[in-house]
A and B are shown apart, each in its own frame.
Chain A
Amino acid sequence: MSTKNWPLWEVFVRSKNGLEHRHFGSLHAADAEMALENARDVYTRRNEGISIWVVESKNITASNPEHNGEMFEPAQDKVYRHPTFYELPDEVKYM
């Protein structure tokens, strides 16, 4: 019997129209089709979603935590980059 593991996939689910796909978790599957079916069963069985994306984890390029200083800290003291000086109308949701 083969003991080789199926590759790892990342699962993104859109919970309803108008919202973006969000990362829900990961799972193992032999190919994209199986990853979609597994994602359906593992992550949307309680009515969490209306659309699923799957992508093989190895295709994701991640930032290196060791570089967090140069990557993210320079943005910490630049409050003027936040659009906090506008008043949002009540009708605008999901901001």
Chain B
Amino acid sequence: MNNTNLYHYILGIADNSLILGQRMGELCGHGPSLETDIACTNISLDLFGQVRSYYKYAAKIANDGRTEDDIAMLRKERDYVNVLLAEQPNTDFAYTMARHFLFDVYHFLFLTELQKSKDLTLAAIATKSLKEVSYHQRFSTDWIKRLGDGTEESHQKMQNAINDLWTYTDELFHQTDADKAMVAEGIGVDVTKLKAAYYEKVNAILEEATLSIPESKYFQKGGKIGIHTEHMGYLLTELQYMQRTYPNMEW
């Protein structure tokens, strides 16, 4: 492979959206109401649309005969490099929205910067995705406020979700070796520089939603180097079921 770093860098972006998209897609037919069910499925499809562009590009860079589908569907757990936040389960709708919100704020800041990448393919994907992600952010932010500043029960559920998921936020700003190499070449986004803006925005919205910001300074990490939480294996089992059971099947 000519550019291993670029390949790994693309996977780092794409895997987040793939795994989060799979989580949102799980709500298809199971959403709390018909309207939110469709909304979550739409978001899932937006994310899958984005990852197709990334994986197609990754397949071109890899140039080893694998297709976008092979890269998306046929890696082993340790080869996925999504952040731990993305793989956390849909414990209840508050968790689903909290997870999405905590990712969306990051995603928006990240894509805004990625538009300036020297890699024109990545810049173009970022520009195209940004409109979708703006809406995702608006949708999840609304739900944070509705549930946070809603009834006593909805407030408690949203607070629980934020408390549990907070520990996965810091990893968003960790850098892998591939990340550092790509930043140096003007291709990648320096995520460490997004951290202040991220927490400022997240805190402002949580405050508006009357939610308290967790004080814990202990943060989980590992997803970016392939070390996942116990939820990831189950997620992949479902995601990969068709290709594993009926190799090369198409429809």
Contact = CB atoms under 8 A, between A and B. Distances in A.
Contact of B35 (A1, A2, A41): A41
B70 to A, nearest CB: 29
Contact of B42 (A6, A34, A45): A45
Contacts of B139: 37
Interface centre among A27, A33, A37, A41 (most CB of B within 10 A): A41
A32 interface: no
A42 interface: yes
Interface residues of A, number: 15
Contacts of A1: 153
B202 interface: no
Nearest to A41: B39
Given A1-B153, A28-B33, A37 B39 contact: yes
A38 interface: yes
Contacts of B35: 27-29, 38, 41-42
B216 interface: no
Interface of B: 33-36, 38-39, 42, 135, 138-139, 142, 146, 151, 153
16 contacts: A1-B153, A2-B151, A2-B153, A6-B33, A27-B35, A28-B33, A28-B34, A28-B35, A30-B146, A37-B39, A37-B138, A38-B35, A38-B36, A40-B135, A41-B35, A42-B35
Interface of A: 1-2, 6, 27-30, 33-34, 37-38, 40-42, 45
